[in-house]
Amino acid sequence: MAVPVVYVDVPPALEAELFGDGLEQGLRGIGRLVRRGDGVGRLQADVLVTGWGSEPLPERLAPEDNLRLVVHSAGTIRSLVPQALLSRGVRASQASAGMAQSVAELALYMTISRLRDLDRIDRVMAGAHDWRGADFGLARTLADSTVGVIGASRVGRAYLQLSVAAGSEVLVYDPYLDEQEAKRLGARLVPLETLLGQSTVVALHAPVRRETRHMLDAPRLALIPDGGVVVNTARSALVDTDALLAEVRSGRLSAALDVFDDEPLPLDSEWWQLPNVLLTPHLGARTWHSRRAQGSIAVDEVRRYLTGRDLRHEVLPETYDLMA
């Protein structure tokens, strides 16, 4: 019986960050590793391991193709694996669970930084090197803030639990979450408009779907109380950027953003000029912990498939659209 072929479609530097020698050790005796340039096509392998930068797959396989499983070492597969391919029998798995804690911690840092105005204070300190006479005002604490979480995704749940641990009252909106599960997480399940009207902090952790695109538009942003903070480490398309920009420009709201409509953020973007916004370059999962967790999940999924066990992180055709 031929040894299954596992094609690693990940650049060498990223492969080292994700796996170290974990792939070689994990697949020893059960699979043959090949990489770009080894004379085997991606679709001729039994298993394809992908990562950031991998080329999208076709909707159909040719008769000579052997591909049966795609294991994505990052999050969403929607721009990589067509849903039609899953419906035709190719299976897929992904490693977003390994990224959740890192992204949630960044979102928590952004939340506290905006509540305490730390990013603006840092810029003032760096420019003046003297805080005598500076009016930094009075800040707010996370413990005394109501945090609204939009989307009980893996990241959303991790962020929610961090906020609960800090003492916040947490509201959550997610049409796929029930009241009992929300209560177990330490949150109160409410309609979106209620969440927006009662939250000091609004944190976005939902997938982009037809019904969630620009879900925070001008009328809904207007529901957030004066002084509110919008935190987005999920997808920029969840928010009407022009409407949010207008609210932040006016000073009524502030924002912390790790995702943007255009990435990298253009040099002439007005976001750079605003004092009440914290910007980071889409690096929520850029930690050693996250990379190795992603790699560990991917290796385990490949091993499970090759040894006939159930996958733990499979993306099914019916759950495909629920991904970020």
Active site residue 235: yes
Q: Is 80 exceeded by the pLDDT of residue 41?
A: yes
Classify residue 176: in a domain, yes or no. yes
Residues 132, 224 within the same domain:
yes
Helices and strands (H and E) in the chain: how many: 11, 12
Residues 126, 256 within the same domain:
yes
Classify residue 151: in a domain, yes or no. yes
Q: Find the catalytic residue in 263, 270, 289, 312.
A: 263
Neighbours of 179 (CB within 10 A): 11
As a whole number of angstroms, the distance between CA 169 and CA 269 comes to 34
What is the band of 1 on the pLDDT scale with cuts at 50, 70, 90? low
Predicted local distance difference test score (pLDDT) of residue 128: 77
Classify residue 324: in a domain, yes or no. no
Tens of pLDDT along 181-239?
Answer: 999 999 999 999 999 999 999 999 999 999 999 999 999 999 999 999 999 999 999 99
As a whole number of angstroms, the distance between CA 163 and CA 60 comes to 44
Q: How many domains does the chain have?
A: 2
Integer angstrom CA distances of residue 306 from 29, 226, 252, 295: 11, 55, 55, 17
Q: Find the catalytic residue in 32, 282, 286, 292.
A: 282
Classify residue 200: in a domain, yes or no. yes
Residues 158, 193 within the same domain:
yes
Helix ranges restricted to H, 117-235 = 118-128, 154-165, 179-185, 192-198, 218-221
Q: Are 182 and 172 in contact (CB under 8 A)?
A: yes
Domain that holds residue 262: 100-279
Residues 144, 220 within the same domain:
yes
DSSP structure class, residue 63: T
Active site residue 55: no
What is the band of 324 on the pLDDT scale with cuts at 50, 70, 90? low
What is the band of 134 on the pLDDT scale with cuts at 50, 70, 90? confident
Q: Are 94 and 75 in contact (CB under 8 A)?
A: yes
Residues 179, 154 within the same domain:
yes
Q: Is 80 exceeded by the pLDDT of residue 279?
A: yes
Active site residue 289: no
Where residue 223 sits, what CATH number does that domain have?
A: 3.40.50.720
Residues 82, 108 within the same domain:
no
Tens of pLDDT along 254-265?
Answer: 999 999 999 999
Neighbours of 141 (CB within 10 A): 12
